[in-house]
Amino acid sequence: MDKPPLALDQNFSGASEDFPALLRRKGLLQIAPDPTGAAGNHPFVQTESTTILAFKFAGGVLVAGDRRATAGNTVVYDRADKVLEIDRHSIMAIAGVPATAWEMARVLEHSFQYFRRSQLQEMSVDGKVRALSKLLRDNFGFVMQGVGVVVPIFATYDGNSKPEARLYFYDAMGAQFEVTDYAATGSGSPAVRGILYYENNWGDKKLQQLNEDEAIAIALRALDTAAEADTSTGGVDRSGKIFPLIKTVSREGITTLPEQKIASVFKQKVA
C-alpha cells in the first residue's frame, strides 16, 4: 500500500518565504535548548567572545588576537591561540567557539596540503576562500543550536595576483567579504573598527604605509582599548605580562612576532 503524501503546512499562504522567516513562524529561531539542563528554554543568542583584527601594512598583512578564553562570565584560560597558520602563506584568526574553529583550521590545513601534493601546485586564493566558506556553511546547524558559531578572518599573500596581500572576513553562514584595508570580528570588534578607521583616515600614515613596529603599536592600542569595554577581550595583561598573539604574512611567508619584540613596542609606543 502506498504511503499517503506528506500533509502540507496548513498555515502556508502560498507566498515566498525565506528559511529564517519559516523558523520564526514555527517558533524555532529564537529558542534553543537550555545547555545547563534546567527546566525551560532560553533565548538563542550568538556570542563571539573575543577580539581579532587584521590589516594590511607596508610588509603584508598583520593579524592579531587577544589570548583570553571565556565560558560565560568566567575566564577559563589566558593564553589561547586564536591566530592559526594554515599553510605557508595563509592565516586564519578565529572568533567564536574554539573547538569548532580549531577543527575547521585542521581540515583546511589538510585540504590545502593534499591539493598541493596531488596537483603539484598551490591552491588558488579563490579556492582557499571558498573552502573556508563551505566549512562555515556546513557548520550552520550547530550555529542554529547556539553551540558552534565561528566568525573568522582569513589573510593570505599571493605573489601572482594584484593586490598581493589579500584579506577576508566571514559571517556565520559562510558569506565571505574581501576588504581593502582592515577587518575585525568578535565581541570587542566595534571599538577596534573605530580605531582602525580613524588611524587609516586621520592618522599620521595610512595603514598600508606603516612599518612593522608602527603596525604592532596600532594593533596593541586597538586590542587594549577593546579590553577596556569588553570583559571577553584580554588585551594586554600588564601584571601577568601576557601580550596578544601577532603574526604577519608576506612574500617570504608567515612570521610569528616574538613576545619580547611585542613587549618592547608596547613599552616604547603604547604604555
165 touches 157 (CB < 8 A): yes
**Residue numbers annotated as active site:** 50
Q: What is the pLDDT of residue 48?
A: 60
Q: Looking at the domain assignment, is residue 24 inside a domain? A: no
Q: Is residue 37 scored above 80 in pLDDT?
A: no
Q: What is the pLDDT of residue 203?
A: 94
Q: What is the pLDDT of residue 13?
A: 46
- For residue 82, give the CATH number of its domain: 3.60.20.10
Q: What is the pLDDT of residue 17?
A: 58
pLDDT band of 39, cuts 50, 70, 90: very low
* CA distance linking residue 21 with residue 108, whole number of Å: 32
Question: pTM for this one?
Answer: 0.82
Q: What is the pLDDT of residue 20?
A: 66
pLDDT band of 29, cuts 50, 70, 90: low
pLDDT band of 156, cuts 50, 70, 90: very high
Q: Looking at the domain assignment, is residue 73 inside a domain? A: yes
Q: Looking at the domain assignment, is residue 234 inside a domain? A: yes
pLDDT averaged over every residue in the chain: 87
Judged on CB neighbours under 10 Å (0-12, 13-18, 19+), 71 is exposed
pLDDT per residue over 52-95, tens digit each? Answer: 999 999 999 999 999 999 887 888 899 999 999 999 999 999 99
Q: Looking at the domain assignment, is residue 13 inside a domain? A: no
In 3D, which of 151, 155, 177 has the Cα closest to residue 164?
A: 155
pLDDT per residue over 241-258, tens digit each? Answer: 899 999 999 999 999 999
Q: Looking at the domain assignment, is residue 242 inside a domain? A: yes
Q: Helix or strand or coil: residue 220?
A: helix
Domain that holds residue 192: 51-270
Q: Is residue 5 scored above 60 in pLDDT?
A: no
* CA distance linking residue 199 with residue 39, whole number of Å: 49
Q: Helix or strand or coil: residue 165?
A: strand
- Rounded to an integer, the average pLDDT of 85-111 is 95
Q: Looking at the domain assignment, is residue 175 inside a domain? A: yes
Lowest mean per-residue pLDDT among 5-9, 83-87, 153-157, 187-191: 5-9
Select the highest-mean-pLDDT range: 10-14, 30-34, 64-68, 94-98. 64-68
Q: What is the pLDDT of residue 245?
A: 97
- Rounded to an integer, the average pLDDT of 248-270 is 96
In 3D, which of 204, 193, 184 has the Cα closest to residue 66?
A: 184
Kindly state the percentage of the chain with pLDDT values over 70.
84
Q: Looking at the domain assignment, is residue 17 inside a domain? A: no
Q: Looking at the domain assignment, is residue 203 inside a domain? A: yes
Total domains, the chain: 1
